[in-house]
Amino acid sequence: MRHLLLGLLLLLGSGLAFGQRKFSSMTPMITLLDTKTKALEKKDRYVVKSLLDVLQRDMSDARNSTTHFFSKSELSNIIVLGDPEKISALQLRLYQLKNDTWSFVRTYSGNSEINTAFSAAESAFYKLEVMATFRTGQNYTHFGLLIDQEQ
């Protein structure tokens, strides 16, 4: 097992050494999500959703979405993290599912991090759409999303 892990690390390291830098935001984002999750848990927060995904400049205006069920009675915190070396701005748009249609709720903005409290007006599925403005010369980045609540 140790040899397999060592081989994998060497393979990944050699890819980065040969200029495949467009994937270099993955490891820092995993570390950042881990650090944020541990900090939240120390504050007796419960992470109910953790997501690591990609944004690409040519991917529907650099947007990516996921859904989550929010209960009316729960106050949640939504955190979106981006790579400040690759993006200059983040935006989070929330939509509520009503009668099989996504209805716009609200937009949140930030540079490379959005950290906001959210209280659903009614219990329902919500779509969280993450968008980025890329820095010049950048076309690809990872982002992280965490949703936490009190335990």
Tens digits of residue pLDDT in 52-80: 998 888 765 668 999 999 999 899 999 99
CA distances from 84 to 25, 68, 89, 133, 137 (A): 10, 26, 8, 11, 14
- As a whole number, the mean pLDDT across the chain is 84
Lowest model confidence (mean pLDDT) among 9-23, 54-68, 93-107, 131-145: 9-23
User: Which of 32-36, 40-44, 55-59, 115-119 has maximum average pLDDT?
Assistant: 115-119
Give dist(CA 148, CA 122) in Å, integer. Answer: 18
